[in-house]
Amino acid sequence: MSATSYTLPRVWQWEAGNGGKFSGTNRPTAGATHDQPLSLGKHRFQLYSLATPNGVKAAIMFEELLALGHDAEYDAWLVDIGEGEQFGSGFVGANPNSKIPALFDHGHSEPVRVFESGSILLYLAEQFDALLPRAHATRTETLNWLFWQMSSAGFVGGGFGHFYAYAPEALKYPIDRYAMETKRLFDVLDQRLATTRYLNGENYSIADIASWGWFGQMALGRTYDAVEFLQLHDYQHVMRWAREIAERPAVKRGCMVNRPFGEPHEQLLERHAASDFEHRTQDKIGG
């Protein structure tokens, strides 16, 4: 069906299989589709995720906390969204919205569930008093940029990313619409980073972790392969920031966690100990 042949119906009807790459798992209803309990490791924190732009935020946060010397050991379990594991009963219990990442904190009398990547970052920052400034003005600026990123993800991922990379056919109107908005958001970020090293000023924070997952990885060509299409190299301050954060050891480790794609030495499907980065990547275990 071409872009000009669609007649708007009075009532929309869902058609199974209509939706491009993820049509096999997409549906217009919530809730579990099958019984699948969550795996449980030995650490206080249990992360259920996949190394998408949203998923890497949580793993990077844990690795940054560990690098700072905090007792933030965690188990990270792969959730295969292509196979619909996000609709298993256990995962829906962790996140009723069936989106990764999701977290359980078992360090309390009753496990505390945390879902939405921004909520996970804020929760961990407050638990460990790290990567979120105490000073009122700087803390507020950090949260400004954290929620800016959370509000922009739908335009970049669900909008531009879907129609540019995943839709069953290329359609000019939605691609133009979301490319324009994505470039506008890059310009917002570039103008901010023209005057500051990091988003809240001179201190690396959860705002940078959240925004780097999307904008930093896109600028470096890791997401959607759209650097040339969007001329992302023109955003020089974003590029400087993206490269600097990419070189942080904790970021490198976090990007490997729950990663089933890329080079085998970059794939750590599950993470249960710091030594896993040396001994449990796919090239080491013959995956």
The fold adopted by the segment(s) 13-131+263-287 is Glutaredoxin (3.40.30)
What pLDDT does 19 receive?
62
What pLDDT does 1 receive?
46
Under 8 Å CB-to-CB from 153, ≥6 apart: which residues?
Answer: 53, 54, 214
HSE (CB half, 13 Å, CA atoms) of 275?
A: 1
pLDDT in tens, 64-108: 999 999 999 999 999 999 999 999 999 999 999 999 999 999 999
Name the residue ranges covered by the structural domains of the chain.
Answer: 13-131+263-287, 136-253
pLDDT in tens, 231-280: 999 999 999 999 999 999 999 999 999 999 999 999 999 999 999 999 99
Angle subtended by helix axes 55-67 and 249-256, to nearest 10: 140
Please give the full DSSP string across 26-63, using - where no structure is assigned: --S--S-SB--PPP--SSSEEEEE-SSTTHHHHHHHHH
Q: How confident is the model at residue 15 (pLDDT cuts 50, 70, 90)?
A: confident
Give me the sheet containing 102-105, strands edge to edge: 74-78, 45-49, 102-105, 112-115
pLDDT in tens, 109-127: 999 999 999 999 999 999 9
Q: Identify each DSSP E strand in the chain by its residue range.
A: 45-49, 74-78, 102-105, 112-115
Is the separation of the CB atoms in 94 and 58 below 8 Å?
A: no
* Average pLDDT in the chain: 95
Q: Do domains 13-131+263-287 and 136-253 have the same CATH topology?
A: no
**CATH code reported for the domain at 136-253:** 1.20.1050.10
Is the separation of the CB atoms in 280 and 270 below 8 Å?
A: yes
